[in-house]
Amino acid sequence: MTVHDILHLTDSDQGSLDIEAARTYAERYLAAEEGSSERTTMAAALTVLLDDPSRPVRKTIAKVLAASEHAPGHIIRCLAHDVDDIAVLVLKSSPLLTETELVDLLAEGSPAVQCAIAERDQVPASVSAALCEVADESACMRLLQNPSAAILKSSLIRLAERFEQHPDLCDQLLKLGDLPIPVRYELLMGLAQNLENHPVVLERVPEHQRDVFLSDAVDKVVLRLALEAKDEDLPEFVEHLRAAGQLNTRLLLRAVCCGRLRFFAAALANLGNMPLARMCKVLLSVRRAALQAILRKAGLPYRSHQAFLLAIDIARKADADFSYDLALEEARALTEALLAGMQDGAFGSDEDVNAFLRRFAIDVARLEARSVMKKNAKDLRAVHAA
């Protein structure tokens, strides 16, 4: 068949070429040698078929040519601007579309077009950045679920800013290991704040206890992130908390009770304007009077000093060097010793501080119990598997 035959057929009363003919022309184009008259003729035929009013005809062409690096570029680009159910076929898989073209297409495209681009194999960082900037939630979710997509940290931060009130996408972001700790914190804070109206909280937490419940939830989020944070990330995280007004006495007491000694040292270093390495040495070596001066410089209230000083003494006796976190059983032992010491009238205990410590001691005991049960269940599964 010649170009003349194609033109004559599509202009005649016989109507559009059928789907099988469209498939044949596309397959013949790919099978023909580059530069051959056969390939030239088939390219012309396919170009004419782009104007065919029958959507199935154009869709058939897209299906055959979409994944080929030898497809006619102008046909692929025309199909990429077609209706969604045709365009997505080439947008998902065509290697001929450049990064610039993909960015332009997603900027003006529908959610279906954006999703197709987000699902491409090896999405480049520039395209990911554009998706994170302008795409809707469904496309951004597809991007995060695409293991081959290159996504910069700056793009992840932008997603966190745009969708902080969207729990599903926030949850997907939190599964990523590359998300900076301060960004993880902000996302988790958004989720924690939403707990106030959660049905479980409304049903199980008395109204007069909800403020305490929510503040505890926030502290637990912080300490969980502190446990997961790398040493080099802790100072930035602590500074973020200080700037947000979250680096308070209650949090530092809970950190000590939970064995988060790295976080405690980093917080004191930040509040006292001292290098972290030096602070760790100070916590191990200086006398109580010097430690109390550090606590004053950090802005911690005087009534809490006895608890912190006693906790530091207990940690020293346990050979903790404040450069690592304690195991749960070690944290529970420290908390019990701290609470026992604070309840001794000779120490001039403060009832508010004791109330905090008693609550923290219960939390640590619960964490340890859950850890023991989880380990026992794992051991039991291993026995049954053997």
Q: Judge whether residue 47 has pLDDT over 90.
A: yes
Q: H or E stretch including 28?
A: helix 19-31
Query: Distance between CA 70 and CA 64 in Å, rounded?
Result: 11
Both 192 and 295 in a single domain?
Answer: no
Both 262 and 364 in a single domain?
Answer: yes
Both 21 and 71 in a single domain?
Answer: yes
Lowest mean pLDDT: which of 40-49, 139-148, 150-159, 326-335? 326-335
Both 288 and 356 in a single domain?
Answer: yes
Both 209 and 224 in a single domain?
Answer: yes
End-to-end CA distance of the chain: 69
CB 246 within 8 A of CB 218: yes
Q: In this predicted structure, what is the pLDDT of residue 346?
A: 42
Q: Would residue 240 count as lying in a domain?
A: no
Both 264 and 353 in a single domain?
Answer: yes
More confident residue, 381 or 108: 108
Query: Distance between CA 271 and CA 282 in Å, rounded?
Result: 14
Query: Distance between CA 113 and CA 126 in Å, rounded?
Result: 17
Q: Which of 142-151, 178-187, 249-258 shows the highest mean pLDDT?
A: 142-151
Q: Would residue 154 count as lying in a domain?
A: no
Both 268 and 324 in a single domain?
Answer: yes
Q: Judge whether residue 292 has pLDDT over 60.
A: yes
Among the listed residues 276, 272, 283, the one whose alpha carbon sits nearest the alpha carbon of residue 247:
272
CB 176 within 8 A of CB 169: no
Q: Judge whether residue 97 has pLDDT over 90.
A: yes
pLDDT in tens, 219-272: 888 988 998 889 999 999 999 999 989 899 989 988 988 889 999 999 999 999
Both 25 and 103 in a single domain?
Answer: no
Residue bearing tokens 């070596």: 285
Both 79 and 174 in a single domain?
Answer: no
Both 339 and 377 in a single domain?
Answer: yes
Of 77, 93, 109, the residue that ends a domain is 93
Among the listed residues 371, 296, 378, 268, the one whose alpha carbon sits nearest the alpha carbon of residue 326:
371
Among the listed residues 212, 224, 255, 259, the one whose alpha carbon sits nearest the alpha carbon of residue 355:
212
Q: Domain range spanning residue 134?
A: 98-148
Q: Would residue 242 count as lying in a domain?
A: no
pTM, rounded to two decimals: 0.70
Q: H or E stretch including 336?
A: helix 328-343
Domain count, the chain: 4
Three-state SS at 326: coil
pLDDT in tens, 319-355: 888 888 988 888 888 888 887 877 654 444 555 677 7
Of 93, 108, 137, the residue that ends a domain is 93
Q: Would residue 367 count as lying in a domain?
A: yes
Both 344 and 274 in a single domain?
Answer: yes
Q: Judge whether residue 279 has pLDDT over 90.
A: yes
Mean pLDDT of 32-48: 93
Both 32 and 79 in a single domain?
Answer: yes
Q: Would residue 157 count as lying in a domain?
A: no
pLDDT in tens, 1-35: 455 455 444 444 344 457 888 999 999 999 999 99
